[in-house]
Every structure is written in structure tokens, then in C-alpha cells.
Amino acid sequence: MAENQNRQDPLSPHMISFEQVNKWYGAYHALADVDAHVAKGEVVVVCGPSGSGKSTLIRTVNRLEEIQKGRIVFDGQDIHAPKLDLNHFRARVGFVFQSFNLFPHLSVLDNIVMAPVNVRGARRSDARVRALELLERVGLASKAGAYPGQLSGGQQQRVAIARALAMDPPAMLFDEPTSALDPEMVGEVLQVMKQLARDGMTMICVTHEMGFAREVADRVWFMDHGRLVETGTPDDFFLRPQSPRAQKFLTELRTH
């Protein structure tokens, strides 16, 4: 953690800043003038219609998608700085996808131990102790020796969260972490995310789980056609949506 704190610009209360971010896929304007900040410890839920740019937005943060205009600052680091070690940087951004992408031939424990050892040069014994702590935290201490194929989807996703946490990320990004899960497994993953939020983790979560948004989010970002249309509190968004597009989105959500 000390390492992370050293990187932080002490003058900036922001953990993640999007400054006039623009991205095109060819001629298609996928992100248009996105300007927003995530404070330290803040939980942002990103929602919006399919194709509105939610995944694109969070994937710009660890440069899975490049932007053509604007600036992104993560934990005090301009992510396009020429000297940035991209692999090292990416490993520090906790990213959890819809698909868990665990290594099938490695045990749960080894999945978690790998990045700290290989990317950060942690001692294997230390990394194992930490991995076991993290498995405890996501309720899977008993599965350390299991292989991903022996776990349920919800359990695999919790391992994926533990794996991301093993790099002590200053913030965690989630892209629909529960969308691929059977309904009965959604709750256990949301529970882990809620606990993370309570522990003060800075988070951006793309999710359709509006109950989670209401309960956990400090802010809801509503996107439409590559634009950040609303950035209010959950009460603002759910009770007093300003834009016709957000009103329509919520109406459709409620009728489904």
C-alpha cells in the first residue's frame, strides 16, 4: 500500500480522472468528451444501454483500448506517459471481466500467486500467505488446492477478484462481473464487491445490477452514445433522472 500512496499526487483527491477523453473505432465516435473523476474510496456504477460505451470507457483505464484525445490519470499516473511500463501498470489496475479467465491448469492458489511473483517479484512464500488471506476474504479458503474447472461460476469469479486484489490495486474496475453467472450465484459475487466497497476500495463497476447501484454506489454514471450523460448520486439518478435518455432507460428497466 505504501508503494501506491507514494505514487499518488498529494494535491489530487482523485484516484481516476478522465479529462476530455475521446475515442473512435475508425469513423465511429465511441467516447465523446468524457470528463469525470473518481475520488479515492468512491464507488461508481456505470450504466447505460448496450453499445453506449461502458466497456470501452473502463477498458481505456488500463489501455486495453487506446484513446485518440484527452488524458487519463490513474493514481497520480498519466497513463500515457512515455516512460510507463505498460505490463507493470496493467497489473496494478485491478480488472475483473465477465469471463473469469483463470488459468485452467493452475490451482486456485497458483492463479493468485502468479502475478505478484512474476510481475512484482514477490517471494513465493509471501505471495502464498497473502493469497490464502485473500481467499479467506472472498470465502474460498477451502478451495486453495482446487482447479478452476472444479469450481462454480460464482466461485471462479470470486477467485478472479482475489487474483486482482493480490496486486494491491489502488482501484478495481469491474465489467459486468455477474452477467455470465447463473442467477443463484450473482449474490455471492455482489456480496464480495459490497465488502470491498465497505473496506474503502475505489471501484468503477459496469453492471446491470441496479440494486447494487442503489445500495453501494456513491455515484451512478449513465452513458449513452459514448457520452457521459448523468453523474449523480443513486437518488439523483433513480428518483430524479434529468435527461430524457436516462428516464427512458429507467422506464425500460422497470418494465422488464
Cβ of residue 99: shortest distance to Mg ion, in angstroms?
12
Binding segment for ligand ATP (CB under 6 A), chosen from 22-30, 36-44, 191-199, 247-255, is: 22-30
Give the one residue of 52, 60, 62, 111 binding ligand ATP; rule: CB under 6 A: 52
**Residue reference for cell 477467485:** 159
- The reply to whether 25 sits near ligand ATP by the rule CB under 6 A is yes
Q: Is 53 in the site for ligand ATP (CB under 6 A)?
A: yes
Considering the rule CB under 6 A, would residue 50 count as an interface residue with ligand ATP? yes
Return the residues of window 104-163 that contact ligand ATP according to CB under 6 A: none
Angle at 81 between CA 54 and CA 229, to 5 degrees: 25
Q: Which is nearer to Mg ion, 75 or 174 (CB)?
A: 174
56 binds, among ligand ATP, Mg ion, none (CB under 5 to 8 A by kind): ligand ATP
C-alpha triplet 43, 108, 145: angle, nearest 5°: 140
DSSP label at 67?
-
**Of residues 28-67, those binding Mg ion (CB under 5 A):** 55
Separation between Cα atoms, residue 227 and residue 209, nearest integer Å? 21
Please identify, using beta-carbon distances, which residue of 55 and 62 lies nearer to Mg ion.
55
Please state the closest distance from residue 253 (CB atom) to ligand ATP, in A.
Answer: 13
CB burial of 176-210 (b: ≥16 within 10 Å; e: otherwise) equals bbbeebeeebbebbbebbeebbeeebbbbbbbebb
Stretch that binds ligand ATP, among 44-52, 103-111, 163-171, 233-241 (CB under 6 A): 44-52
Q: Is 92 exposed, middle or buried (0-12, 13-18, 19+ CB in 10 A)?
A: buried
Residues 6+ apart with CB under 8 A from 136: none
55 sits near ligand ATP (criterion: CB under 6 A):
yes
25 binds, among Mg ion, ligand ATP, none (CB under 5 to 8 A by kind): ligand ATP
**Is-contact 152 138, C-beta < 8 A?**
no
Distance CA 168, CA 109 (A): 16
CB closer to ligand ATP out of 113 and 174: 174
Stated as kind and residue range, the H or E segment containing 220 is strand 219-224
The residues that touch Mg ion, with contacts defined as CB under 5 A, are: 55
The residues that touch ligand ATP, with contacts defined as CB under 6 A, are: 25, 28, 30, 48, 50-56
